[in-house]
């Protein structure tokens, strides 16, 4: 992270109905970053898949941490689940198949129940 990068942190119970908060927050920041409506829709779908991935590793009392980092050039989202389990292999495969085409870059660390995604606006 450099001096011009801002960061927003959300901590949410690992329950499906809280995934919307991550999606809405990302969309608001994506608008601010100048992403097109198509890029924002792609990002929202990728976030849905990332939340599903985290929920597949979540215990009943787990928490999901969402960190948004953004500067003039890109928006990055890091999701991590504090549960002591790992995501299901089919959830990882689904995330990679669906989200891999929608975002510019991603990294998944299933051993830590962690994913990072980056999206850069195609228009200045």
Domain map of the chain by residue range? 6-119
pLDDT tens digits, 98-119? 999 999 999 999 888 899 999 9
Task: Answer whether 0.75 is exceeded by the pTM.
Answer: yes
**DSSP 8-state assignment for residue 72:** S
β-strand partners of 19: none
Q: What is the CATH number of domain 6-119?
A: 3.30.565.10
Alpha carbon 70 to its chain's center:
13
**DSSP H or E stretch at residue 78:** strand 75-81
Q: Tabulate helix, strand, coil % of the chain (nearest 5).
A: 40, 25, 30
- In this prediction, residue 4 carries a pLDDT of 74
Q: With contact defined as beta carbons under 8 Å apart, do 46 and 103 qualify?
A: yes
């Amino acid at each position: 992270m450099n001096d011009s990068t801002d960061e927003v942190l959300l901590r949410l119970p690992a329950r499906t109905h809280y995934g919307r908060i991550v999606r809405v927050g990302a969309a608001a920041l994506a608008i601010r970053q100048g992403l097109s409506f198509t890029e924002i829709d792609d990002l929202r779908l990728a976030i849905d898949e990332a939340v599903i991935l985290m929920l597949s590793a979540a215990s009943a009392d787990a928490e999901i941490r969402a960190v948004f980092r953004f500067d003039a050039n890109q928006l990055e989202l890091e999701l991590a689940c504090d549960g002591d389990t790992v995501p299901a292999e089919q959830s990882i495969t689904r995330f990679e198949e669906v989200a891999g085409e929608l975002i510019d870059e991603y990294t998944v660390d299933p051993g830590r129940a962690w994913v990072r995604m980056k999206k850069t606006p195609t228009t200045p």
